[in-house]
Chains A and B, each alone.
Chain A
Amino acid sequence: MTTAPAQAQTRAWMAIAIEPRYLIVFLITLVLVVGEWRYGILGGYERLATTLGVCVVTEVLLSWWLRGRVANVASAYITGISLALLTKPQANILWPFALGAFLAIASKYVLTYRGRHLWNPSNFAIALMVLLAADSVAILSHQWGNDIWTNLVIWFFGLVIAWRARVLHVTLTYVACFIAFAVVRHFIVGGPLLTEIAPITGPMYQLFVFFMVTDPRTTVSTKRGRIIVVAIVALVETLIRLSGDFQLALLKPFYVSPPILALAMVGPIAMFIDLRRTPGRTAAA
Chain B
Amino acid sequence: MNPAKRFIVTLVFAAAIAAVVILNAGAAGHGGGATETIHLSEVATASGIDFVHQEPALDPKIANIAPHVGALGACVSVADVNNDGWGDLYFTTSRFGASNALYLNQHDGTFKDVSADAGVGALNRPGEGVSMGAVWGDYDNDGNEDLLVYKWGYPQLLHNLGNGHFEDVTAQAGVRTWMNSNSAIWFDFDRDGLLDLYITGYFRSDIDFWRLSSTRIMQHSWEFASNGGKNLLFKNLGNGHFKDVTDSLGVGSTRWTLAAASADFNDDGWPDLYLANDYGPEELYLNQAGKHFELARAGLQDDSKSGMAVAVGDVYNRGQHDVFVTNISEKGFLFQGNNLRLNFLKELGRFDEVAKGPVADAGWAWGAQFGDLNNDGLLDLVIANGFISGDSGRSYWYAMSKIAGAQGNIFEDAKNWPAIGTASLSGYERSRVLLNRGEAGFVDVAQEAGVTDQLDGRSVAMADLFNRGLLDVVIANEKGRALLYKNTADPSHWVEFRLVGTRSNRSAIGAEVTAEIGAGRQRQAVDGGSGFCSQNDRRLHFGLGSQRLGRVTIRWPSGNEQVLSGLAIDQLHVITEPQ
Residues of A near any B CB (own CB < 8 A): 39-40, 43, 62, 65-67, 88-93, 95-96, 99, 102-103, 106-107, 109-110, 128-130, 132-138, 141-148, 151, 190-192, 194-196, 198-199, 201-205, 241, 244-245, 247, 252-253, 255-256
Across the interface, B419 reaches (CB within 8 A) one of A39, A65, A67, A191, namely: A191
Q: Which 6 A-B pairs have the closest CB atoms?
A: A202-B405, A40-B302, A91-B360, A198-B406, A244-B398, A135-B28
**In the bound complex, what is the Cα–Cα distance between A39 and B356 (angstroms)?**
23
Residue among A40, A148, A203, A252 making CB contact with B303, cutoff 8 Å:
A40
Let me know if B398 and A245 touch, CB within 8 A.
yes
Closest Cβ of chain A: how far from B399's Cβ, in Å? 7
CA distance A190 to B91 in the complex (A): 39
Decide if B418 is an interface residue (CB 8 Å cutoff).
yes
Cross-chain contact A133 with B416 (CB below 8 angstroms): no
Indicate if the CB atoms of A192 and B416 lie closer than 8 Å: yes
A136 CB contacts on chain B under 8 angstroms: 23-24, 27-28
Expressed in whole angstroms, the Cα–Cα distance for A135 and B20 within the complex equals 11
Are the CB atoms of A99 and B405 closer together than 8 Å?
no
The answer, yes or no, to whether B361 is at the interface (CB within 8 Å) is yes
B19 at the interface (CB under 8 A from A): yes
Complex contact B223–A144 (CB within 8 A): yes
Residue of A nearest to B223 (CB): A145
Q: How far is the CB of B213 from chain A (nearest CB, A)?
A: 20
Instruction: Point out the residues of chain B lying under 8 angstroms from A198, CB to CB.
Output: 402-403, 405-407, 410-411, 416
B1-34 at interface with A (beta carbon < 8 Å): 1-2, 5-6, 9-10, 12-13, 16-17, 19-21, 23-25, 27-28
* CB proximity of B418 to chain A, nearest CB, Å: 5
CA distance A62 to B12 in the complex (A): 12
Q: Closest residue to B5 on the A side, CB-wise?
A: A66
The answer to whether B334 touches A138 (Cβ under 8 A) is yes
Indicate whether B335 reaches chain A with its CB closer than 8 angstroms. yes
Count residues on chain B whose CB falls below 8 Å from chain A CBs.
62
If A91-B361, A109-B9, A195-B418 touch, whether A148 touches B334 (CB-CB below 8 Å) is no
Indicate if the CB atoms of B17 and A128 lie closer than 8 Å.
yes
Contact of A39 with B405 in the complex, beta carbons under 8 Å: no
Per the bound structure, the CA–CA distance linking A91 and B25 in Å amounts to 15
User: What are 25 A-B contacts defined by CB distance under 8 Å?
Assistant: A39-B304, A65-B9, A66-B2, A66-B6, A90-B335, A90-B360, A91-B360, A92-B337, A92-B355, A99-B20, A103-B13, A110-B6, A133-B21, A137-B335, A138-B335, A141-B404, A146-B405, A146-B408, A147-B221, A192-B415, A198-B405, A198-B416, A244-B399, A247-B398, A256-B398
Do the beta carbons of B356 and A67 come within 8 Å of each other?
no
Question: A146 near B222 (CB under 8 angstroms)?
Answer: yes
B419 (CB) vs chain A CBs: closest residue: A191
Q: How far is the CB of B373 from chain A (nearest CB, A)?
A: 23
Residue of A nearest to B356 (CB): A91
List the B residue with the shortest CB-CB distance to A191: B418
> Within B319-344, which residues are at the interface with A (CB < 8 Å)?
329-335, 337
CB distance from B100 to the nearest CB of A (A): 36
Given contacts A90-B27, A247-B393, 18 further A-B contacts (CB under 8 A): A39-B224, A96-B20, A102-B16, A103-B16, A110-B9, A134-B332, A141-B334, A142-B223, A143-B223, A146-B408, A148-B407, A192-B415, A192-B416, A195-B418, A198-B402, A199-B403, A199-B405, A247-B394
Contacts of A141 in B (CB 8 A): 333-334, 401, 404-405
Inter-chain contact A40/B304, CB cutoff 8 Å: yes
Q: Within the complex, which residue of A43, A93, A106, A135 is in contact with B12, where a contact is CB–CB below 8 Å? A: A106
Query: Can you name the residue of chain A whose Cβ is closest to the Cβ of B359?
Result: A91
**B396-429: contact bitstring with A at CB < 8 Å (1 yes, 0 no)?**
0011011111111111000111110000000000
Residue on A with the closest CB to B357? A91
- Judge if B353 is at the interface, Cβ distance under 8 Å: yes
Expressed in whole angstroms, the Cα–Cα distance for A247 and B417 within the complex equals 17
* A135 with B394: CB separation less than 8 A: no
Of B1, B16, B23, B27, which is within 8 A of A106 by CB?
Answer: B16
Contact (A133, B23) CB under 8 Å given A146-B222, A199-B405, A203-B405: yes
Which of B13, B222, B302, B408 lies in contact with A110, CB distance below 8 A? Answer: B13
Q: Are the C-beta atoms of A195 and B417 separated by less than 8 Å?
A: yes
Q: Which residues of B contact A195 (CB under 8 A)?
A: 399, 402-403, 416-418
Q: What 0/1 readout, one digit per residue, does chain B (193-209) give for beta carbons within 8 Å of chain A?
A: 00000000000000000
Tell me which residues across on chain B come within 8 A of A130, comparing CB atoms. 332
Contact partners of A196 in chain B: CB under 8 A: 402
A71 CB to nearest chain B CB (Å): 13
For the complex formed, measure the closest distance between the CB of B499 and the CB atoms of chain A, giving whole angstroms.
37
